[in-house]
Structure formats: structure tokens, C-alpha cells
Structure 1
Amino acid sequence: MTNDEDLAKRLVAAGRAAERTLSSGGRDATVGELLAGLAAPDPDEPADVYGDGVVARLEERVAQLLGTQDAAFFPSGTMAQQVALRCWAGRTGNPVVALHPASHPELWEGGALSVVSGLRTVHPTKEPRQPSAEEVADLAEPFGTLMLELPLREAGFLLPTWEELEALVGAARDRDAVVHFDGARLWESTVHFGRPLEEIAGLADSVYVSFYKSLGGLSGAALAGSSSLIAEARVWRHRYGGQVFRQFPQALSALDGLERELPRLPSYVAQAREVAAALGEALAGSPVPWFRINPETPHTHQFQVWLPYGADRLTEAGVRTAEETGTVLFRRWSPAPVPGVSVTELTVTAAGLDWSAQDVHEALKAFLTRLDP
């Protein structure tokens, strides 16, 4: 067993045994626990076949929530976005997609936009923030689609202001381009924007949403938009291998997430802001020579913490803290773009709602005590 494999097992074991955590880890649940959460409202309902039944009900619910004419279920967000951007390239006659270089298709999809779909990308900005309307307006070449990742995860789960978002969409329209939202985590953006989901999604021509990143579903995604776009997307979904025979486990867990987690997300955002403030206060009074909470006031229920130590050292300290105290504050750390600095993501869900500022201070103290030189 490699050191990394051993560390991964320790992270999972510590997470499962923890008495206090801000959010459960993605690998903490067992198969039995996940299956136990799949109770159907009507166990005698016929199983879905190629997207009917419970899958169709999920699609209707998503379209209703986002205020779109239709929505299509996809086995993955990667496939949903590939199809959306390919459809728009055909409709606009322009294969160029304007997006941030830190967006999901650029970092986590193996170059599929160009390799699989024959598209090309341009970047309005390389700064670790959302692009501005001026940058979109000043792009040197025509583009068919502007894709906005809301929130932009790699930059700290950042969102523009509502006025900035309206201006971005307007700048794209002025360039005769369509607008697609990568809304994998759009569900929790309502607090920051101060607008309902329907109004936010209404700015775009198409929206992708995830069922597991915020809603706790097993997997899967949806693409929402006009009836004609979604009809075309369903054709491409089949071509891409996404016409799966049965998908009721994913659909049931997604519907459960929409019923159970979606109403709670505003409380998670509010608590994340309390945790971030307490953590910043605790770090400011600690021996740590430098730190960054990014953003200082979280836009969603997720944010970044930057510290001036190696990633392995920080991860080990976090695991030891969990193993020895039963409290999980930090999980895995990664090297930041700055040498000698590492970054981690904190997520606050139901498990973290009862954390007080004092709890955060004590957890950080226990963590720093185990940060061996």
C-alpha cells in the first residue's frame, strides 16, 4: 500500500468515526448507507426504462425550479456540458467558447471540448476571479457561446454581483453570443444574488446543474433550457452514450436532495460565513505567520483556506487531529499556485450547523498543535 493510499484510508476512517465535522466527506458513506437512503415514495412504481418514470419526474421538477421549458437528465455534468456547448456551436455557427481558464472543462475534462466536440476556447481573463463585462466585450475574436461557471470553484467558489452578472450576459448578447451557465453549484447562489433560482437561471440560454455536489445525490446532472434545445440535447445524449437503461437510484437520490437539502442551503451559507469569520479570527491570533480565507466572506457554503506550509504536512496534521480528538476541521490539502503555500476547501452542511465560534477556535488550536515542524 502506498503512503497516499494509506492516507486516503485514514481520512475516510477518521471522517466516519468523527464526533464533530463541518461536512461529511464524499467517501465517508458505505454502500449499505447509500442504499438505505433510496426509499421510493411509491415502491410499486414501475422501474424507469431509458429515462421515463422517476427520471422524467426529476426532469420536470428541475425545469420547474429553474423556470425553463424543459430539462434532460445526464449521467454526468461533463457529458451535459459537452452536449450543451456542442448544440450551441451548431446553432450559432461558431465553435468558439469563451470561458475562464480555471473552469471545469479546461481543468477536469481531459480536453474533451476540442478532442471530442471539435470546439475551441478563448479566455476573457486569466485572473482568479469572474470575468468582467468589459473583458467579454473586448475579446479580440468572435465567439458563439459565453460559459460562466457559477460559482467559480477554483478561485474560491466566487460569484459576481447580480449587477455584474447582468452586465456579463448583456456583453455576450451584444457580441451575438448565447450564454450557458455551468451551474453545478448554482443551487446555493440564491443567498449571494438575493434572487430566486428561476430569476438567476432566466439570464442564461441554458443551465447545467449537478445533483451530488450540493444536494447530496448519488451522481448525475441536468441540462435545462428551451424545449427545442433539450430535444436536440437528448439526441446528442444518446450519441454520447448517456441513454442509460435504468437510472432510478440517481433520480431518487436527486429528488430527495431537492426535497431535503435544497431548502437548507441558505442556512449552510449563513453558517459558512460564521465559520469563516471565526477561523479568520483564530488564525489572526495564532503563531501562523500568514493565512488567507478566500473569499473573506464566503459567497456560498464553500470557501478556501490558504496556509504557508506543505500540503502533506497540513493533511497529516488534519488526519491526526481527527484521529486523536474526534473533530474534523480540515481534510486534504493541495499545493497552491504560490511556492510553499497550500490550499484546502471547507464545506459547511447540516453536520456543521451547530459549530460555534468557540468550537472553531478549539478545533484550529488542536490542528496547529499537531502541525509538526
Structure 2
Amino acid sequence: MLTGLCDDQLVEDTKRQRLTAALRGCDRILSGTRPLTMREQLAALEGSGLLDDQPDHYGDGPVAVLEERVAELLSTEAAVFFPTGTMAQQVALRYGADHSGRDAVALHPLGHLEKHERHAYAQLSGLRAVWPTTEPRNPTADEIAALAEPVGTVLVELPLRDAGFVLPTWDELVAVAAATGAAGARLHLDGARLWESTVYLGHPLHEIAGLADSTYVSFYKTVGAISGAALAGSADLAAYARVWRHRYGGMAFQQWPAALTALAGLRRELPLIPRYVEHARTVAAALATLPGARVYPEPPHTQRFRLWLPGTAEALDEAALTLAEDEKVWFAARWQDAEVPGLAMTEITVAAPGLDWTADDVAEVGARFLARVAGRD
């Protein structure tokens, strides 16, 4: 059994290395961005003025500057840097439980805490999940009002990634915030990709965060930092968060590379996000014209959406790799076999490299990609 697991990991590592090498070698990229080496990531900071000061020492210096910047963007009293979003959200939920005396949390079964964090909220803090809905969308105000038991925190993921990067409308989110308050609970936003949610919601970051008692944002998602997250909210929450960050092992001696790449990413990416979201709609519409294609949501709510195409995940990944290696064009990879037989799914991310793709470009390259898939069948 152990040998089999090691072999599977070796295969996965080899595939990842091939994907990275192929993507780095491409001249044109539709989905995602070109991966950078460590040297390239630090070199990108040259000329920014961010490398001239002293490194942080247990959370001061550039880490403190980043915290101030996030608090300013979200118009909260304070923000606290965390090495991971998983850690930040555990602290947010623990705060809600401690201040309400309620160990239940309302969250979605497709949410990040249920799908990708090994149920850390339960294992580390003894909290329990209550599911307001199992529908592939965020909960409604009526569903919050109808919860079978009191909860300390209602968690809303913006966007809900594993449902297809879907968002509520602004009015729906306002209603959820009101229902949460009426239930005597705190509203926490899992805003890992909050940065790209403003276009669909039609409101700026500070107005979205203003509906909630606490908000988590990621720096490596959307913004492009090497790592890191922040938890924003009241001064009382921040003081609590700093204590529990230390207890969870997040009080690292120096974290300046993460902080500096986050500051640079906020400066570089935030002004471009509306263009990414708008162009994602163009890309999605073009992809939907491919034979057998399905796109969701249509149009996309953010700069990311899901795409299904005919074929197996293995065949589609191999077609993406050979297209990249032979023609230096990156279409889309990391396919997963779908529940519908004969289809595989991937997530499309439209960022800076994809902005120069016209609808005709997408359709033409997509046809060449599918021809490679058919050639493997």
C-alpha cells in the first residue's frame, strides 16, 4: 500500500513538473498566468521601493504596512496578517463561538472549510457545522432565518468556488447580513477571492466588508503574492486574533517576502480586476461555442468559471500539454472527470495574459485543442 501511494505521488509530481515547464515556455496563455521562479518573484519587486526598508520582526515593518493597507481597503478598524487562510478562518470562527457561547457554525457543504481544510474548525476548535442549504449557491436570508439551532457565526464564501465561483446578488447579500444579525450571530465572509467579487456585486470592497463582522482575504489568490492572508474586522477581533495567531503557530520571525509580494500585488492587480471579469465573459461566450462545451456560470460572476468539454481528463490534459509544447500556446489544463459520462471539467482563470485573446482566438485555438483530444481517442 505504501509503495502504491509513493508511486502515485511520483506520477503526480512528474505531471506537475511537466505542466509547469510547458506553461513557462508558452508565448500565449488563455487561462492563468506564467509561473515565476523565486528569483523572478523577488526581481519583480525591484524598482517598487518595497525592498529598501528593513525586514519585519515578528509582525512589524512590511507586515504591519500590509495590515494597514487591508484595513484601509476594507474600511475596518484593523486587519491581522496570517500565514494561511485556514488559520485565519479558524480564529474568526473561534472568536464567534467564544463571544456567543454557541459552538455551531452555519456554512455551506461546498465551502472551503468543508472541502479543503480537513474540517479544521471541528478538529481544532470543537465547532459543529450547520448547513443552511445544500444547493450549489450561497444561502438565502430565509434559510438563515430557518436554521434549526442558534449559531455563533454565519459564514458566506464570496465567491463559492466549488459551486462554480458563484456569487449572490447585492440585495441577497444584504438580506443575509440582516438575517444573520436578527439571529444573534456574526457574519463572516470567506473572501479569499473577494477582490474579484466587486464587479458582479456592483459595490466596492469596503461596502461589501461593511456588511460583515469579519472578513478574510487571501493574498496569493487573485493578487498573486507568494502566500499569506488577512483577517479584518474590529479592534477587539484583531486583538483576539493576534493572541490566537501566536497560539496556532502563526507568529513567524520574518514574513517579509509574503508581505512585500502582497503589497505589490494589491498595487498591480486591483486596478485590472474589472477588465479581467469583463473579458472572462467574452472568453466564456467563445468557449461555449465549441462542440459539446458547457460553461458555468454563463456569464461568469468573476474572472473565473468552469468549463466542461468532451473527453477524459487524461486525454484533455495531454492535449493541453502537447499544444503547449508543440505550439507554445496554453489553453487549459488540470482537467477532472465529471459526473456526466464523457465530459471533463476544468476551471478557467482570465488574468493579464488572457486579455489579448479575442473571441475568434479562443474559438480557433479551442478547435485545435479539441482536434488533439479527438486524435487521442
Q: TM-score range by the shorter chain?
A: over 0.9
Choose the corresponding residue for 1:258, options 266, 271, 279.
266
TM-score (norm 1): 0.95
Q: How does 1:1-373 map onto structure 2 within 5 Å?
A: 2-25=10-33, 28-39=35-46, 41=49, 43-281=51-289, 283=290, 286=291, 288=292, 291-371=293-373, 372-373=376-377
1:129-172, Cα deviation, whole Å (9 max, x unpaired)? 12222222112121111000000001110000001111111121
Cα displacement (A) at 1:24 = 4.1
Q: Could you tell me how far apart the structure 2 residues matched to 1:76 and 1:337 are?
A: 31
| Residues 38 and 249, structure 1, Cα contact 8 Å, conserved in 2 | no
| Residues 196 and 303, structure 2, Cα contact 8 Å, conserved in 1 | yes
| Residues 91 and 244, structure 2, Cα contact 8 Å, conserved in 1 | yes
| Residues 180 and 205, structure 1, Cα contact 8 Å, conserved in 2 | yes
* SS of equivalent to 2:295: strand
Q: Which amino acid aligns with 2:251?
A: Q
Note the aligned Cα RMSD (angstroms): 1.5
> Which shifted more, 308-317 or 116-125?
308-317
Q: Which amino acid aligns with 2:76?
A: T
How many residue pairs end up in the alignment?
366
* SS of equivalent to 2:22: helix
1:158-205, Cα deviation, whole Å (9 max, x unpaired)? 000001111111121121111000000001111101111110100000
Cα 1:308–1:134 change in 2 (3 A) is farther
> Which shifted more, 98-107 or 310-319?
310-319
Q: Could you tell me how far apart the structure 2 residues matched to 1:55 and 1:45 are?
A: 12
Q: Could you tell me how far apart the structure 1 residues matched to 2:27 and 2:60 are?
A: 41
Cα displacement (A) at 1:23 = 4.2
| Residues 50 and 260, structure 2, Cα contact 8 Å, conserved in 1 | no
1:59-93, Cα deviation, whole Å (9 max, x unpaired)? 00100000100000000000000111111110011
1:319-367, Cα deviation, whole Å (9 max, x unpaired)? 1121222111111101234444321000011111110011101110111
Gaps of 5+ in 1: none
> Which shifted more, 335-344 or 87-96?
335-344
1:251-297, Cα deviation, whole Å (9 max, x unpaired)? 1101001111111111110111110011112x1xx3x3xx3201010
Q: Could you tell me how far apart the structure 1 residues matched to 2:356 and 2:307 are?
A: 21
* SS of equivalent to 1:141: coil
TM-score (norm 2): 0.94
Q: Could you tell me how far apart the structure 2 residues matched to 1:266 and 1:367 are?
A: 28
| Residues 23 and 350, structure 1, Cα contact 8 Å, conserved in 2 | no
1:3-39, Cα deviation, whole Å (9 max, x unpaired)? 433322221111011111024457x221221221233
Query: How many percent identity over aligned positions?
Result: 55
* SS of equivalent to 1:116: helix
Gaps of 5+ in 2: 1-6
